[in-house]
Every structure is written in C-alpha cells, then in structure tokens.
Structure 1
Amino acid sequence: MTLIELNLLPLLDRTEKAEGHSPTAIARPDLIDIVAARPDFRSALYQFLIGLLQTTFAPEDEDEWLEYWESPPDENALKAAFAPWRDAFVLDGDGPAFMQDLDLPNGEEKPIASLLIDAPGDKTIRDNLDFFNKRDRVEAMCPACAAIALYALQINAPSGGVGHRVSLRGGGPLTCLLVPSAIDGTPPSLWHRLWLNVLPRNKIAQLNGSCTGQARSDILPWLAPTRTSERKDGQTTPDDAHPLQAYWSMPRRIRLDWTRVRAGHCDICGIASERLLTGYRTRNYGINYLGWEHPLTPYYHDPKDKELPLSMKGQKGGIGYRHWLGLVMGNADRQPESARVVRHYLTEKRDLLPPGPEPRLWVSGYDMDNMKARCWYDATLPVHSPPGGRENEFRHHVRDLLDVAVEAAKLLSGHVKKAWADRPGDLKDEPAIGQSFWQASETTFYRALDALTLPEGLEPVPLASTQRAWLRAVRKTALDLFDDWVTGEYEKDWDIERTVRARADLAKWLNAAKPMRAMWKFVNEQLKEPA
C-alpha cells in the first residue's frame, strides 16, 4: 500500500463535490482545494503534497517554475516523477514504511488515537480531566487517516516525555502557506495553491547545512535505521542530512501495528475499511533535530547570532494583524523573519507573475502548553508589497502603526482594571480585554495598510493622513471598548467616580503615550492640525 497511489486526498472540485484522489491528480484543473475531516489534517496534507513536489518535481530555477505555473503538468507527468519514489511511500509491510521506524522490534503499545496531537494523554485520562477532547472517541482509523495523523504528529510533535523528541521545528510550530487569490470570482486550482509554495532547486541547497548526500535515506529518514538520540551529543544537524529532510522529519519512533486491524468505519472520516488500525508501537529517543530551519515556518533570530533560530509557535489569542509584519515581511531585527517561501515570493516570484491580486497568507498551527494542545489556530492574512521597492521605509511605518496599537491595547486593559477596583494590581489579568481591541481594530488596520501600499502612500502628506486616521480610530475604539467593559455585562463593583477618573486618564494617554505622541508630532508637522 503506497501513498503515491492511495486515494488519501479528499479533494474538492469546481462543482463543490469532494472525492478521494491519489497525489497524481493534484494538477487537474477541475480540483481546487483539500477538504479534510480535521483542520490539522488539511494543513498536514498541504505540507505533504508540497514536500512531495519539492522532493520529486522541483523546478530547476525560477524560469522552469513559471513554465509549470502557466502550463501545469498532466497526470502522466506526475506519475512519471513520482514513480521512482513509489516504494519509499509504502505504509505497511515489514520493510521501510512511511514516517515509521525501520527497526522497532518492540515498544510501548499505544491506542491509535494517541497519534492525534489533541488526544488526551494518559495522565489526563487517569485524573478524569478529559473535559473537551473525550477519551474513546477515536478507536480505529482507516489507513489514509492513520497516514495523515502520523505525518501531522511527526511534523508538529510536541514534547512527549523523556526522550520523545519534538519536531524539527519545535513543538507546535506555525506553518505559513501562500494562497493565490481568486480572479474574477474564479477560485485558484489546487495545483496553483501548491506550486506557489514550491521552491526552485537552486534555492533548496541554501536551506540548511552543507550535506550533499544523494541517498534517498538522507531525505526520507525512514529508509534507513533511525539516528537515535540516547547520547547527549546525539543530535542530527543540517550537516547530517539532506536539506529536504526538513519536509520529512521523523522525531518519533513509531510503527503502525497491522496485526491489530478490524473491519468497520473509520472514526475520523467515516469511510468503511477492511483494515482499520487500532494501535501502534513506540519507543523514545528518536531523531533529535538541532539547528534546522523549515521553509514554511517563520523564525526568530538572535541579533548576535549566538543562539540557534527559534521557530514561531502558536500562542494565546490566536493569529491576527499584530503579527502581520513579522509573518509577511519579517521585522527589521528578524524578530521574527518571515518563512522562506514567503520571502522568495516577495523577492523573486512576484516579479515573474503578471499583474493581479496579491495572494494571501494562510497561517496555521497548534497552541501547545508543553504536551497539551490548547487550541488549533487557522488565520488568513493579506499580502502587501511596498510601493516602488521602498521596503525598509514601508516596514518602518507599519511598525509605527503596530506600536500604537500595542500601546492602546495595554492602556485599555490597565484602565479598565482601574475602573473595576481601587487596587487594580490585585486583579487577575483579563486577556479578553486586549483581545477585544485587536479584533475591533483589525479592519481599520488593513485599511491603513492598503493606503500605505498606494504609489504615493509613503509620501509625507498622504502618510500623515493615514496616520491621523489610524490615531483617531484607535482612540475611538479603545474608548468605546472601555465603556463596554466597565458599564456593560462585564461590569464589576461599579463606582462612577472611579470609572470617570479612569476614562479621563485613558483618553489622555491615548494621545500622550510615547508611540502616539511621536506619530501625532509627524501628523501635526505635515497637516498643521493639533491632536
């Protein structure tokens, strides 16, 4: 059973009909998207297909990439490209098996549900704390769902106890994929969704390390005995494997148990199967990756280059416009730097493509608390490019807008607490207050971003007009939300004098705080208008 031929892909066509297809069908023009039973499965399937294309069908350079963008390959071309790799993607059997340890004669037996990152752990079940993700909901998976769950675990693996290694990107990394925009209401094909995130071969060598090994096991680690990590110095660095292993990392030692299968319906997708998997075996001390960078993930870089890059993770409050600059363009201090596929689009691919709507950035990933999945986040952000190549200037002014928003959210939270109590420092933090500001001001931010990307958007007078509109909108949003929080359904022990005093103080600092004061100074110089 090879995944190259297995109909593991639930693909949506232009009539909105979803059917299972094999990977060789992905260039068909009538197919437009992946639909999956779980959102983390959808993200994993996109990454699987991008990795497959990157490994077997990567263009030589940007010119060849553009040729396949304009004229996608047919199904026979993909079959020919995938054929030499067919046996490397076998899911069952006694030999090499997809994402599974080559030699795992024994190990701890686990229920198949434990492949799911959000499944309750043993201690959670023992303590009877599985309130939201209940035990025993998933007892059997079809081979396709088991393969997807296994891949999703390996590429996102959180900490799992002693020797159970995290993914190459760390636990709960964010994945950033470019999504082409619809043209005249026509959605892009699945091929274009995937191909926009494939890098030319001449860029792959720049990804990680200096390993030039051409053995397939240097790319697909399950084809050789696992580089185990019992020793403290047992790390696998970019110099120890091919750069493409970033797409196929395998930190967990797992072997699906085909001796415990049964017939029935898959608890994930509901499809009937004669070979439902109910368990697997695992051992600790799998591959311990160190110092890698994944092309689909943004990273924080140490300004002094003394520490290894740190991948950006899912976090409380989700993904929103406060992360826009780092995820799309990267901050000037590389805190963070955007994913390599995003940077390559902005610097190379964008100029190759005909004028049209910019793609959007799909960001997804788990928010992990050590081994516990708190939430799965999915967000879509617009992609903008600076006018006339004025990238640094554009980035600087976007950073100014965000600094004003950060300060306003902080001021709102602090002054709501001042209205709630005489001793606000004694109150617990209320993250929902700040989050309400970010949600309420999102549309206004993107409107300001649109203005900055106009040809004249960075000229002094238009820039000042954009900043003035932003300052006024931020002020109004913060004050309106203050009123909601202190006099609406959220009110605590309401004291009118304390509330009036807190609101007046908030109104003052929404103009006088450092980021606002600096921006108003520029606005006043250009527009001759007092704050």
Structure 2
Amino acid sequence: MLSRRTELVSEVDPTGATRASPLNLLVNQWLPVRRRSGQLDTISPAQIAENDDPAVALDWPRADFRIAALEFLIGLLATACPPKGARDWFDGWQVPPDAATLDAAFAPLAHAFHLDGPGPRFLQDFEDLVSDAEPVERLLIDSPGASTLRQNTDLLVRRGRLADLGRPAAAMALFTFQSWAPAGGAGNRTGLRGGGPMTTLVLPGDRPTLWQQVWANVPLGRPAEAEDLPRIFPWLVPNPSRDVVPEDVHPLQCWWGMPRRIRLDFAMAEAPQACGLTGMPDAVQVRSWRQRPRGSNYIGWGKVHPLTPHYALKAGGEFLPLHPQPGGIGYRHWLGLVAAAPDGLRLPGDSVATWRDEREVDSQVSARLLAAGYDMDNMKARAFLESEMPLPARADDALATRLVLSANQVAGLLRSAVRYALFSAGATVKLDSELLSSLRERLWEQTEADFFRLLSQAPADVSQRRLVRLRALALALFDEAAPLTPENGGAAPRISRARRNLVFALTGFGKEGAALFTTLGLPAAEAKAKKKGKAA
C-alpha cells in the first residue's frame, strides 16, 4: 500500500503542552511527491534532487497546484542558486546537488518563508489586517465568488467544497492565488502577469525526475544578496498601495509578486486533523482569510517572467503576458509558444527559447512542451487548461511555421465559406460564433497528429501532402456543416457557390488561394487554356 510520510514538527511549551511549530516552506517537509517506485512521500524543497528513488512528480490533487508548485521550485532555485552560465547549468544537469547543498543555498532566504508564526509571513501582508473573514475555499481560483453566491448561480462548481486546509495546501493555494490572481473587484489587483497567465514549461526526456523538470527551466543568474531580499520578497516590508514597475524593485520579484493584501487565519486543533483537500494531518488548520484592497499594482512587466509567452498588438507596442483562451491549447499556438511569430509580435517564454537554443544540445535529450493556465472571463474561471506536445529542434521552425500558417489560412477559408453558405446576405453572423468557431477548432484538432508526423518525417513532398490533407478535411467539414439536402433546398444555390469557391481557393486560385500556395511554397496554380471561347 502506498504511504506518505509527514513531518510537520511540534514543540513543547513551558507548561508541558504540545503545540505546532510554525511551518517554514524551505525547512519543513510539506511538498507531496510520487517517487519513481510509485511510493508517495512528503519532502522539503532541498530533497527534490535526491538520487535514491528520486521524486518524479508533484502529487497535489489539483492540476493548478501542481503547475504552480513547479513555478515555486523554479523560482526558488532562480533566487537562491541559479546557474551562472551554460557550463554551470550542465554541471547541475549531470550531477544534481545533494540535499545539504541545497539546504545551505536556501538558508539565507529561510526567514522569508515562514507561513505562520510571529514576524513576516510568506506572501502575506506585513500588517495584521482588519477585515471580514472569507472562507478558505475562496482562495481557490475556480471557487464561486461573492456575486455568484448572491445570485445562487454556482451550478457547476458548488460552494462548500471544503471547510479547512492544512498548512501545506494553504501555502500552495496562497502561492497559486498571488501568482495568477484574477480580477477581484475594486482595488483587488491581478497578478504580476495579469489574471490567469499562460505557463510554458520544458519537460526533458521520456521520464524526467522532478529535479530535471525544475532545472530544465531555471534561468541563468546570480544568487540573491541579503540587501536585495526586501526588494525581492515584498512581504518583508510594509507595502502600502503603490505602482510597481520593474525598475523600482529587484527583477527576481517576478517569481514572488504579491498583488493582494492577504492574511491567513490559523487555528490550532487539539490533535492533528486531516486537510480537507489532501487528507494530510496537521495540528494547525486554515479555515478563513482576510484581505484589504489596493495591494501592489504591477505595471510594465511584459517579457520579464521566463515561464510565460508574450505578445504585442502592433510593432513597437508594449508586450503583454499571454493568457489561455477557450478551445484549449494545441499546435495552432505553436507560433508564440514554441517559436517567435514571423512578424515578431508573439514570443515564447525565455525558458523554452533557452532550452531550444542551448540546453537541448547540452543535455542530449529531446523534450516536450507543457502549457497550462486558467481560461479566465474577467473574475470567473471558465476552465483550467493543460496540454503537452513535442518540442522539436530549432531547425524545424521554418517548416513548422509553414504548416501552422497554412492550417490557419484553410481554417479561415472554411469558416467564411460556411458562413456564406448558411446565412443570407446582410445576416449578422460573427466569425467567432459557436458554429463557425467549432469548425475551425475541429480542423485544428484533426490535423494536429499530421502536423507532428510531417515535422518528424519531413518528406520531400511535405507541402503537397499538407495541402491534400487540409483540402480533404476542409471539404468534408464543409459538407457536414452545409449539406445539400432537401431541408436546405432554399439555400442550395448559395451552398453550391460557396463550395465551388472553397474548392477554387484550395486549388490555388484567387487571392486567398495564391496566398495559401505561397505559404506552402508551392508553385502558383495555372488556369486551364480556353478553347473556342469556352473554358476547357
């Protein structure tokens, strides 16, 4: 039977009573992991590189906690002991540090990572806040908000899912919330990267250890100096409402942004109780939290966070963090997640770019891309999206760009053809309507395997194969959406004309067809010769 070791320490006061010691996130064992053998365990951050039955996955019961915990560990190494150069990174890849080495590197930061107890508290306001208590479940980004509860519309994600959290789960909920904080009403700031940012991580090799997953994404840098810590960890000093630009604080604050003024409420139990989320016992439970508005307002942090792709709306414009959108994450997002878009307006995260430029060659292993994040509708979480895909070498970028752009062009042709076929002239139908968007999504989904297969094989006639596949699928989807049936008899002329024009473009004719052939690098289509005044 799988077991999990827990070692949240306790102490005895002068009266002989036992009480829980404050939880320190760098000293205590609080991270749930699964080891290569399948054994469940709880470790401290310094144990992530253990070689004897190494940890291979974080074992939080929520996907957002798992991704955020990877961010926490990457940010911790980037702050305490980043590689100084490519050689230093390679040494850490070849021979991971032992727990004692990491403990020594983390020690100068430990005072900033107390979750409870006296003094500064991790990611919590420097002052004790006077405010109404909120139930702890509302620290979870997907929990229904106050407006949803008032209107009694919490239908899919119900209120009252959990009443308390042990300190490990509360710490992870707090970090996730502060890192990805969505809009929260007047004065409640979004995260440093905006609400619900996209996170992209490199997963190296077939069965990477937890250390390899983390180290693959740690940027180059220098360990934080003692005098810089108040500019890195904003909870170490009083932090009244202010605008925070990168020039005013240390760049490492990108890992430790604190947009919300929050204090957790800790309650001591007579005996250890099971956490409402993980089941792990803890003598201290968090049942509520308090917040005040007007925390740090992060401005101009585009292109700073290494794990997030960025985009600009126009040349010379400000770069903004990318956020997941409805429809999931797939190869259609390749330009911007994996490689820069040709127009330079979409850029992958630095961790992905660094891996493909340098670390893939040094490590001599292939990798996959993990992309994840909340699809947010202002304050409401519509879904948590997570996707993995192969991460081919940089040499494949030109071909990948052609394949992605051609699919985007064909998806646009299909969408326009179906709209023309089904709706009369003058009808108000947006291109992002559910029907037209679903056709576009299905084309992307059904060509994803073909995309990676062509990238891996790169046959001589790759462009022609791509065209044949896109043409066949687009016409099949058109015929399904706009069939020539008796029920559509009145629309038959429009349907026939729309299909003919779609075939025309997919054969390379017209402005759109010529653009498609140019993207694929195919020779321009030639019109058939006319005979006796009639088209042959």
TM bin, normalised by shorter chain, reads 0.7 to 0.9
Q: What are the residue-to-residue correspondences of 1:361-380 with 2, within 5 Å?
A: 361-380=369-388
Match of residue 514 from structure 2: 517
Between the aligned residues of both structures, percent identity stands at 35
- The reply on whether 1:249 has 2:257 as its aligned counterpart is yes
**Partner letter of residue 142 of structure 1?**
G
Match of residue 282 from structure 1: 291
Partner of residue 305 from structure 2, selected from 289, 294, 306: 294
Q: What are the residue-to-residue correspondences of 1:473-492 with 2, within 5 Å?
A: 473-486=469-482
State the distance in 2 between where 1:514 and 1:35 align: 53
Q: What are the residue-to-residue correspondences of 1:408-423 with 2, within 5 Å?
A: 408-422=410-424
Match of residue 25 from structure 1: 47
Preserved CA contact (<8 Å) 1:417 1:424: no
Partner of residue 64 from structure 1, selected from 88, 98, 101: 88
TM-score, with structure 1 as normaliser: 0.86
Match of residue 393 from structure 2: 385
Match of residue 319 from structure 2: 309
Change (3 A) 1:247 1:28: same
**Partner letter of residue 189 of structure 1?**
T
Match of residue 31 from structure 2: 9
- How far the C-alpha of 1:419 sits from its partner, in A, is 4.2
Q: Which runs of 5+ in 1 are unaligned?
A: 206-211, 388-393
Partner of residue 220 from structure 2, selected from 192, 197, 200: 200
State the distance in 1 between where 2:29 and 2:400 align: 45
**Partner letter of residue 79 of structure 1?**
D
Secondary structure of 2:284's aligned partner: strand
**Partner letter of residue 228 of structure 2?**
A
- How far the C-alpha of 1:14 sits from its partner, in A, is 1.3
> Superposition RMSD on alpha carbons, in Å?
2.8
Change (3 A) 1:436 1:303: closer
**Partner letter of residue 235 of structure 1?**
D
State the distance in 1 between where 2:443 and 2:409 align: 11
- How far the C-alpha of 1:241 sits from its partner, in A, is 1.1
Change (3 A) 1:500 1:34: same
Secondary structure of 1:425's aligned partner: coil
**Partner letter of residue 294 of structure 2?**
Y
- How far the C-alpha of 1:10 sits from its partner, in A, is 1.7
Q: What are the residue-to-residue correspondences of 1:97-112 with 2, within 5 Å?
A: 97-112=121-136
- How far the C-alpha of 1:250 sits from its partner, in A, is 0.6
Preserved CA contact (<8 Å) 1:66 1:352: yes
Preserved CA contact (<8 Å) 2:514 2:525: no
- The reply on whether 1:400 has 2:402 as its aligned counterpart is yes
Preserved CA contact (<8 Å) 1:176 1:297: yes
Change (3 A) 1:510 1:35: farther
Which stretch has the larger CA shift, 244-253 or 409-418? Answer: 409-418
- The reply on whether 1:449 has 2:452 as its aligned counterpart is no
**Partner letter of residue 76 of structure 2?**
L
Q: Residues 111-143 of structure 1, C-alpha deviation per residue, up to 9 Å, x if partnerless?
A: 111111111011101111111110111221111
Match of residue 531 from structure 2: none
Preserved CA contact (<8 Å) 2:267 2:284: no
Change (3 A) 1:238 1:523: closer
State the distance in 1 between where 2:74 and 2:208 align: 16
- The reply on whether 1:50 has 2:74 as its aligned counterpart is yes
- The reply on whether 1:466 has 2:472 as its aligned counterpart is no
Match of residue 265 from structure 1: 274
Partner of residue 336 from structure 1, selected from 331, 346, 352: 346
Q: Residues 83-130 of structure 1, C-alpha deviation per residue, up to 9 Å, x if partnerless?
A: 222222111023101110111331232111111111101110111111
State the distance in 2 between where 1:331 and 1:525 align: 24
Match of residue 445 from structure 2: 439
**Partner letter of residue 157 of structure 2?**
N
Secondary structure of 2:26's aligned partner: coil
Tell me how many residue pairs correspond in the alignment. Answer: 493
Partner of residue 223 from structure 1, selected from 224, 229, 236: 236
Match of residue 391 from structure 1: none
Secondary structure of 1:215's aligned partner: helix
Match of residue 320 from structure 1: 330
- How far the C-alpha of 1:376 sits from its partner, in A, is 0.7
Match of residue 492 from structure 2: 497
Preserved CA contact (<8 Å) 1:166 1:251: yes
Partner of residue 502 from structure 2, selected from 506, 517, 521: 506
- The reply on whether 1:157 has 2:181 as its aligned counterpart is yes
Change (3 A) 1:478 1:261: farther
Secondary structure of 1:379's aligned partner: strand
State the distance in 1 between where 2:524 and 2:189 align: 56
**Partner letter of residue 28 of structure 2?**
L
Change (3 A) 1:450 1:513: farther
Preserved CA contact (<8 Å) 1:404 1:515: no
State the distance in 2 between where 1:52 and 1:9 align: 14
State the distance in 1 between where 2:467 and 2:516 align: 8
- How far the C-alpha of 1:74 sits from its partner, in A, is 1.2
State the distance in 1 between where 2:527 and 2:45 align: 60
- How far the C-alpha of 1:410 sits from its partner, in A, is 2.1
Match of residue 227 from structure 2: 214
- How far the C-alpha of 1:523 sits from its partner, in A, is 5.5
State the distance in 1 between where 2:475 and 2:85 align: 53
Secondary structure of 1:280's aligned partner: strand
Preserved CA contact (<8 Å) 1:367 1:377: yes
- How far the C-alpha of 1:442 sits from its partner, in A, is 0.8
State the distance in 2 between where 1:112 and 1:493 align: 55
**Partner letter of residue 227 of structure 2?**
Q
Secondary structure of 1:278's aligned partner: strand
Secondary structure of 1:130's aligned partner: coil
- How far the C-alpha of 1:78 sits from its partner, in A, is 1.4
Secondary structure of 1:249's aligned partner: coil
Change (3 A) 1:343 1:526: same
Q: What are the residue-to-residue correspondences of 1:82-93 with 2, within 5 Å?
A: 82-93=106-117
- The reply on whether 1:238 has 2:238 as its aligned counterpart is no
Preserved CA contact (<8 Å) 2:306 2:350: yes
Preserved CA contact (<8 Å) 1:420 1:492: no
Preserved CA contact (<8 Å) 2:268 2:283: no
Preserved CA contact (<8 Å) 1:6 1:144: no
- How far the C-alpha of 1:62 sits from its partner, in A, is 1.4
- How far the C-alpha of 1:507 sits from its partner, in A, is 2.1
- How far the C-alpha of 1:291 sits from its partner, in A, is 1.3
